[in-house]
Amino acid sequence: MFADFVKMTSQEEFAMEHTRHAIFNVRQVVEMSLFAGISFLLMFISFPILPFVSYMRIDFSDIPILIGTVLFGPIGGIIIAAIKGLLYWLMTGVDLANFIGVFASFVASVSIVLPFSLVMKKTTGRSLLSRLALSGIALTLSLTIVMALLNWLVLTPVYMAVLGMKISMPLAQMVLFGVVPFNFIKGVLISLVIGFVVSRMHTFLKKESTIL
């Protein structure tokens, strides 16, 4: 009986200790919320790069998300992306069309965060420049492939079926000549900007980082 009690108590203490370390502290939650707010504001500063898919616009809202990933790990980066998306949806219109766009933006952010954090963690023995270059290549390829598949299989068909969206070319052609180059260029630009930011702030970021 006593042995069972000791065993149960030990299990409870282990669970509490694990929970305490697994959950972000108050300061980190506040900082993640701040990064999400900055990311949300950056969504309104956007520009098109391909004339025939002018509705696809590049913004740099993923930069605060990636900085958050450097500081808080991939889970922190994904949480920041989720808060950003929720803020945008609530502030710009709670409707189906907007939700689809927010969902696409969230998936894009996740497809950037995960390879970036994974490569940065797995290449700690290399120079910072080579790590940033490899993580940039990884996030660019991931973003391009994931968004091409998502637009081909889910997003565009849903827009066409539910919202009556019309496209001026076959879907596969639009994905190949519109979605793929757009996301490739976006990935390259994001890689260059986050590479510049991390290299400039490396000393400061490394003190708090989980992946540098």
Give per-residue pLDDT as tens, 37-86: 999 999 999 999 988 788 889 999 999 999 999 999 999 999 999 999 99
Strands 47-48 vs 57-58: parallel, antiparallel or unpaired? antiparallel
CATH number at residue 131: 1.10.1760.20
Which domain does 118 fall in, by range? 30-41+59-208
Q: Is 165 part of any domain?
A: yes
- Mean pLDDT over 4-15 rounds to 42
Number of independent structural domains in the chain = 1
Tell whether 189 is covered by a domain: yes
Q: From CA 163, how far away is CA 18, in angstroms rounded? A: 46
Contacting residues for 10 by C-beta, under 8 A, at least 6 apart: none
Residues 138-191: pLDDT tens digits? 999 999 999 999 999 999 888 888 777 777 788 889 899 999 999 999 999 999
pLDDT band at 2 (very low <50, low <70, confident <90, very high): very low
Rounded-to-integer distance, Cα 164 and Cα 160, Å: 5
Question: What is the spatial distance between Cα 19 and Cα 155, in angstroms, rounded to a whole number?
Answer: 37
CB 189 within 8 Å of CB 63 = no
210 burial (CB, 10 Å; 0-12 / 13-18 / 19+) is middle
Residue 8 in any domain: the answer is no
Q: Is residue 51 part of a domain?
A: no
Beta-strand (E) ranges in the chain? 47-48, 57-58
Residue 178, pLDDT score: 93
Within a domain: 5:
no
| Token pair in block for residue 117 | 């954090």
What is the 8-class DSSP label of residue 50?
-
Task: State which amino acid sits at residue 141.
Answer: L
